[in-house]
Structure 1
Amino acid sequence: MFSPLSVTLISGSRDAVLVDPPLTRAQADQVAAWVAASGRRLTHIFATHGHGDHWFTAGLLAERFGAEVVASAGTIEQMHRNVAIRPVFWDKLVPGQIPDAPVTATTPPGNRVELEGHELVIVEVGHSDTDETSVLHVPGLDLVVAGDVIYNGVHQFLVESGDGGRDAWRKAIDAVEALRPRFIVAGHKDKGLDDDAARTVAQTREYLDAVDELLARHTTALGFFDGMLERFPARLNPGALWGGAVALYA
């Protein structure tokens, strides 16, 4: 139905921060049970970017746990955009399954959140698979929670990648790599794969390079789609690839 969603809980001994809450009420219930079972107090909920599958249940979870929703200023702008398109896109995708989702996020001072004395740093990286994206850098764990800047075993969302978007995406990947993480949690990943930073960065770049190559080779969306499936047969959710193919050839 959709690309698998990664939700990350970064925990200290007492408190925790949740990254990229999911899309539907049912998914939020699962995440809530997971957070409650951790025994930590949830202080913040962070969204990496404005696509609704990364934050539409933030308010629901914030109310449940008394947490604060945070995001970069650019992401907050994109949240409002996704609320505006919700009736024609998100609600048609999963009818009746998304809770009310007003934009309640604020931008923390200095784009930083503290977790038991450790800084979690919001790094704005510009366009990736949408505008005004960010990642969360956790230096103490050699970790970047990358949202949709990095993919891991899943077909990448290409609908917004035209008109220089893929070159901008490559710059966002460079910004993540410059943080020198050992581990990257991708916003969409095959749960059977690890979170090795070098591999996921290389494979996300490889996919974008293949897009450029096959767009130049094929004259139709179907030809491009088939070529990408042949190149990346193991990636999950070819529906995302088809949507991108239609948009790029429109």
Structure 2
Amino acid sequence: MTTSGNLAYDVLVNDPPPQDGLLPNGEPKRFSPQASTLIYGSEEAVLTDPGLTAEQARAVGDWVEGKGRNLTDIFITHGHGDHWFAAGLLADRFGARVVASAGTIGQMRASAATRPVLWDKLYPGLIPPAPVTAVTVPGNRFTLEGHDLVIVEAGDTDSADRTVRHVPDLGLVVAGDVIYNGVHMYLAQRAIVGGLGPWRAAIDTVEALQPRHIVCGHQNKELDDDAGRTIAETRQYLDDADDLLRTENTATGFFNAKIERYPDHLGRMILWIGASVVYGVRDHPEEDIRKIILSSWL
């Protein structure tokens, strides 16, 4: 927990849901840990990225309730379902508004449309109903007890239309999937946009905000929120990915080499999926990339 005057933030990291299947090294498939962030004042609070499953919604809701504040808004950083499918349950529980950028709302609709062929197959029966009820706010900013909460457009990282939430009075950026913290990064977007340049530009956007603290959408709960460290490590991970893509000829080789370089990183399933997409597109450029992505997840 970090505080500034009457403003504070806290983070809950949910463990990934159970899942069938094995990775190439024989490990069970496990999704990445997912972080939800609560910004709160004396009486009110705003939540970011409430999670994926009904069980995660319960855990996040109980945690929020324990703070004793009125939850006014739930902010979604981007459209990947693991960051927002639980929003409806929490909005109903607390009477809160769901807020996102226009681009994120479009991506949320796309995730909802693909849910039957992807998310519900990965986690059958675990995900609650998830209508897209998010709204935009004027100027991409709103306030909490007089403190600005600013939605900053970051562009492409592990998918399009990424945003982060900047809380200047806390020196905080809630970074969604722009910055990672001790967790393998989802690299499939590299195959879609033709490189990691847009992601590096998004990191520059976050750095320009001069945060002291960064909460990442996927992070190891044993690590701190130091902004300088997480920015530097995210950049290094991308640089290492480009290096290995020049030397490794197969997705399995890339997967193993990344684990050798990052033995303590969590979320190896996401590493494998991203590698499968990148090498699938490289080896079969004539195939529909959407089919390659879907088969890599399943």
**What TM-score, normalized to structure 2?**
0.83
Instruction: Please tell me the residue identity of whatever aligns with 1:198.
Output: G
Residue in 1 that maps onto 2:40: 11
Runs of 4 or more, structure 1, over 2 Å off, are none
TM-fit CA distance, 1:180: 0.2
User: Of 161, 166, 169, which residue of structure 2 is paired with 1:137?
Assistant: 166
Aligned mates of 1:131, 1:98 — CA distance in 2? 23
Residue in 2 that maps onto 1:189: 219
Residue in 2 that maps onto 1:43: 72
2:199 is the alignment partner of 1:169: yes
Aligned mates of 2:195, 2:204 — CA distance in 1? 14
Residue in 2 that maps onto 1:74: 103
Aligned mates of 1:167, 1:21 — CA distance in 2? 29
Aligned length: 250
Aligned mates of 1:82, 1:156 — CA distance in 2? 19
Instruction: Please tell me the residue identity of whatever aligns with 1:248.
Output: V
Instruction: Please tell me the residue identity of whatever aligns with 2:115.
Output: R
> How has the CA–CA distance of structure 1 residues 201 and 115 changed in structure 2, closer, same or farther, with 3 Å as cutoff?
same
2:117 is the alignment partner of 1:88: yes
TM-fit CA distance, 1:165: 4.4
TM-fit CA distance, 1:198: 0.3
Secondary structure of the structure 2 residue equivalent to 1:42: strand
Aligned mates of 1:223, 1:78 — CA distance in 2? 32
The percentage of aligned residue pairs carrying the same residue is 62
TM-fit CA distance, 1:161: 2.1
2:47 is the alignment partner of 1:54: no
Whether the aligned pair in 2 keeps the contact of 1:128 and 1:165 (CA below 8 Å) is no
- Counting only pairs closer than 5 Å after superposition, residues 211-222 of structure 1 correspond to structure 2 as 211-222=241-252
Secondary structure of the structure 2 residue equivalent to 1:150: coil
Bigger drift between 155-164 and 58-67 goes to 155-164
Instruction: Please tell me the residue identity of whatever aligns with 2:194.
Output: G
Residue in 1 that maps onto 2:177: 148
Instruction: Please tell me the residue identity of whatever aligns with 1:10.
Output: I
User: Of 94, 103, 120, which residue of structure 1 is paired with 2:132?
Assistant: 103
**What TM-score, normalized to structure 1?**
0.98
Which runs of 5 or more residues in structure 1 are unaligned? none
Residue in 2 that maps onto 1:240: 270
Residue in 2 that maps onto 1:33: 62
Higher CA-based Rg = 2
TM-fit CA distance, 1:113: 1.4
Secondary structure of the structure 2 residue equivalent to 1:131: coil
Aligned mates of 1:142, 1:15 — CA distance in 2? 19
Bigger drift between 52-61 and 141-150 goes to 52-61
Instruction: Please tell me the residue identity of whatever aligns with 1:227.
Output: A
Instruction: Please tell me the residue identity of whatever aligns with 1:246.
Output: S
Aligned mates of 2:253, 2:101 — CA distance in 1? 38
Secondary structure of the structure 2 residue equivalent to 1:187: coil
| CA displacement 1:192-221 (0-9 Å, x = unmatched) | 000000000000010111110000101111
| CA displacement 1:120-158 (0-9 Å, x = unmatched) | 000011001110000000000000000000000000011
Whether the aligned pair in 2 keeps the contact of 1:3 and 1:237 (CA below 8 Å) is yes
Whether the aligned pair in 2 keeps the contact of 1:125 and 1:175 (CA below 8 Å) is yes
Residue in 2 that maps onto 1:24: 53
Aligned mates of 2:190, 2:92 — CA distance in 1? 35
TM-fit CA distance, 1:164: 2.8
Aligned mates of 1:110, 1:237 — CA distance in 2? 35
Aligned mates of 1:164, 1:10 — CA distance in 2? 36
TM-fit CA distance, 1:88: 1.2
Instruction: Please tell me the residue identity of whatever aligns with 1:207.
Output: Y
Whether the aligned pair in 2 keeps the contact of 1:127 and 1:165 (CA below 8 Å) is no
Which runs of 5 or more residues in structure 2 are unaligned? 1-29, 281-298
Instruction: Please tell me the residue identity of whatever aligns with 1:85.
Output: T
